[in-house]
Amino acid sequence: MSDQTDSTSIQRDAEAPSGSRRNFLKTTGLSALGAMLGMAVPFERNLSAGFVPVALAQDTGLDLMSGKKGLMVLGDRPLNVETPVHLLDDDVTPYERLFVRMNGLVPQTALDQNAEGWVLTIDGEVETPLELSIDDLKSRFENVTRRLVIECGGNGRAFFQPGTSGNQWTFGAVGCPEWTGVRLADVLKEAGVKDTAVYTGHYGNDVHLSGDEEKEVISRGVPIEKAMEGDAIIVWAMNGEPLSALHGFPLRLIVPGYPASASQKYLNRIWIRDKEHDGAKMTGDSYRIPAYPVAPGTEVPEEDMVVLKEMPVKSIVTFPETGAEVKAGEEVEVRGHAWCGKGDVASVQYSLDFGQTWQEAELEPAANRFAWQRWRAKVTPPQHGYYEVWARAVDQDGIGQPPLSPVWNPRGYANNIQHRIALVAVG
Ligand SMILES: Nc1nc2c(c(=O)[nH]1)N[C@H]1C(S)=C(S)[C@@H](COP(=O)(O)O)O[C@H]1N2
Ligand SMILES: [Mo]
């Protein structure tokens, strides 16, 4: 059963953030109320958008967020939730600790966990357009299970100077769950990709914030070469459970290495295009960066903005939690993860002296390509006082993470600034 079913039984959950509860009706729409409560609401028509049902008020803990423990709500319309870094310590990110990025509203089919009649259409520049049920996908193609990092293109945006518009993600719009599905490449091969194919275009059934069913929420794509590489998968399960309402039930794409905006949730169509896809949030400055480095604050002409593809190399310190108290003179383990949009990370270094000296951390191999890699080190604060642990990862081409923000871009994407935590040594 999916974690999402948590929300159909009334339970206490004092830890769940209250923001979503407060504005839950604005986020999900009135029609969702019955589904959330798991029962009919006969007088639902009398409710207005700002209404907070008693069952959903503080302390009853019944809402879409009920499974997300200790996460930070950046906004609730659309719902955007990030994970504090110390909660990302797991090798496989559990549902409770995976960030949420919605550009629109969770569709009713996902809230109801109703996949009846769900069809994935593959059309456009293909020899044989396909209409596949979820059972077709499961039975006609090889099933694969992979740990794949999913990271929002805007993760780290909060650290750009001057600030850029959009969700002010810090370090926590990333996770590495285990996904089960079929290779996108296998499905496209079955359809027979024509020579004219240039790009994919992805569609889902989530609802525009305006409520207008005709309006696209987000429809992004990837170059056909990336789609055919074999790393991208069409998934129906996360961590062995059916996809939850927030993460794309019943089907989604996972395109590792690219900004997660390419990993369409609620997936019902892949349109093979004969040119770069031009769906919602594919054009203008959405998920685009200047073709050349620009000074902070520069206004960049639209024609000089190019699609953001591979995400840069990155690492985080997930243990201990920043501010942890340790004993002076005693060894303490520090650890975290490292990942890279090109594939495997080459090395991770850490510093205990504000970057004066760097030591090599132990780096575990990835469980599979595009999984994040565990790094570990032992540090010994020589005497009592304030310390920081800094970490930096280096990719296969020798490119590492900058101590300050990387080159500024107008929408604040791909910030792989080094992560650091505070340690207080006592005794
Ligand atoms: N249908 C749909 N797919 C979507 C989005 C969306 O708003 N709607 N947001 C994208 C973005 S910008 C991100 S970062 C990821 C977030 O995935 P998650 O919410 O499962 O963590 O989903 C991507 N896929
Ligand atoms: Mo994103």
**Distance from Cα 203 to the centre of ligand 1, integer Å:** 11
Beta carbon of 170 within 6 Å of any ligand 1 atom? no
Domain end, chosen from 261, 277, 307, is at: 307
**pTM, 2 dp:** 0.87
Model pLDDT, residue 40: 63
Residue 265's SS3 state is coil
Beta carbon of 20 within 6 Å of any ligand 1 atom? no
Report which protein residue has its CA nearest ligand 1's atom 10.
Answer: 261
In which band, very low, low, confident or very high, does the pLDDT at 53 lie, cut at 50, 70 and 90?
low
424 neighbors 324 (Cβ within 8 angstroms): yes
Specify the CATH number for the domain of residue 321: 2.60.40.650
Shared domain for 321 and 351, answered yes or no, is yes
List the end-to-end C-alpha distance of the chain, in Å, as a whole number.
49
Q: Is the pLDDT at 39 greater than 90, yes or no?
A: no
Residue that the structure tokens 């456009």 belong to: 124
Which pLDDT tens digit goes with each residue over 334-387?
Answer: 999 999 999 999 999 999 999 999 999 999 999 999 999 999 999 999 999 999
Ligand nearest to the CA of 208: 1
Q: Is the pLDDT at 13 greater than 50, yes or no?
A: no
Q: Which atom of ligand 1 sits closest to the CA of residue 99?
A: 21
Model pLDDT, residue 82: 94
| CB contact set of 205 (below 8 Å; sequence gap of 6+) | 107, 109, 266, 268
> Region 112-130: what's the mean pLDDT?
97
Shared domain for 278 and 150, answered yes or no, is yes
Q: How far is 146 from 158, CA to CA, in rounded Å?
A: 30
Cα 219 to Cα 27, 63, 176, 215, 287, distances in angstroms: 20, 27, 23, 11, 12
Domain end, chosen from 249, 278, 307, is at: 307
Model pLDDT, residue 257: 98
**Distance from Cα 150 to the centre of ligand 1, integer Å:** 10
Flag whether 19 is in a domain: no
421 neighbors 383 (Cβ within 8 angstroms): no
Domain end, chosen from 277, 307, 337, is at: 307
Per 3-state DSSP, the chain is made up of helix, strand and coil in percentages (nearest 5) of 15, 30, 55
Which pLDDT tens digit goes with each residue over 155-170?
Answer: 999 999 999 999 999 9
Q: Which atom of ligand 1 sits closest to the CA of residue 205?
A: 1
Beta carbon of 348 within 6 Å of any ligand 1 atom? no
Proportion of the chain above pLDDT 70, given as a percent: 85
**Distance from Cα 64 to the centre of ligand 1, integer Å:** 16
> Region 221-248: what's the mean pLDDT?
97
Beta carbon of 247 within 6 Å of any ligand 1 atom? yes
Number of domains in the chain: 2
In which band, very low, low, confident or very high, does the pLDDT at 41 lie, cut at 50, 70 and 90?
low
In which band, very low, low, confident or very high, does the pLDDT at 314 lie, cut at 50, 70 and 90?
very high
137 neighbors 188 (Cβ within 8 angstroms): no
Q: Is the pLDDT at 58 greater than 50, yes or no?
A: no
Specify the CATH number for the domain of residue 103: 3.90.420.10
Which pLDDT tens digit goes with each residue over 252-288?
Answer: 999 999 999 999 999 999 999 999 999 999 999 999 9
Report which protein residue has its CA nearest ligand 1's atom 11.
Answer: 261
Shared domain for 294 and 328, answered yes or no, is no
**Distance from Cα 270 to the centre of ligand 2, integer Å:** 19
Peptide bond into 402 cis (omega under 30): no
Q: Which atom of ligand 1 sits closest to the CA of residue 102?
A: 7
Shared domain for 294 and 192, answered yes or no, is yes
Q: Is the pLDDT at 192 greater than 90, yes or no?
A: yes
| CB contact set of 39 (below 8 Å; sequence gap of 6+) | none
Q: How far is 413 from 306, CA to CA, in rounded Å?
A: 12
Would you say how long the chain is, in residues?
A: 427
Flag whether 374 is in a domain: yes
| CB contact set of 412 (below 8 Å; sequence gap of 6+) | 154, 156, 157, 160, 163, 164, 165, 166
- 287 against 38, higher pLDDT: 287
Shared domain for 333 and 222, answered yes or no, is no
Q: Domain containing 133: what range?
A: 96-307
Beta carbon of 261 within 6 Å of any ligand 1 atom? yes
Beta carbon of 98 within 6 Å of any ligand 1 atom? yes
Flag whether 353 is in a domain: yes
Model pLDDT, residue 74: 87
Model pLDDT, residue 309: 97
Shared domain for 160 and 271, answered yes or no, is yes
Cα 74 to Cα 17, 167, 332, 414, distances in angstroms: 11, 7, 33, 19
Flag whether 345 is in a domain: yes
Model pLDDT, residue 211: 87
Shared domain for 195 and 122, answered yes or no, is yes
> Region 325-332: what's the mean pLDDT?
95
Shared domain for 209 and 110, answered yes or no, is yes
Shared domain for 287 and 394, answered yes or no, is no
Mean pLDDT (the chain) is: 88
Flag whether 190 is in a domain: yes
Q: Is the pLDDT at 63 greater than 70, yes or no?
A: no
- Which of 4, 247, 263 to mutate to test ligand 1, by most ligand atoms within 8 A of the CB atom? 263
- 44 against 378, higher pLDDT: 378
CB environment 412-425: b (16+ within 10 A), e (fewer):
bbbbbbbbbbebeb
C-alpha angle 302-308-310 in degrees, rounded to nearest 5:
160
Joined together, the tokens standing for residue 217 give: 């929420």
Report which protein residue has its CA nearest ligand 1's atom 24.
Answer: 264
Beta carbon of 16 within 6 Å of any ligand 1 atom? no
Model pLDDT, residue 11: 30
Q: Is the pLDDT at 107 greater than 60, yes or no?
A: yes
**Distance from Cα 95 to the centre of ligand 1, integer Å:** 15
In which band, very low, low, confident or very high, does the pLDDT at 35 lie, cut at 50, 70 and 90?
low
**Distance from Cα 154 to the centre of ligand 2, integer Å:** 6
Shared domain for 157 and 272, answered yes or no, is yes
Report which protein residue has its CA nearest ligand 1's atom 16.
Answer: 101
Joined together, the tokens standing for residue 228 give: 């055919």
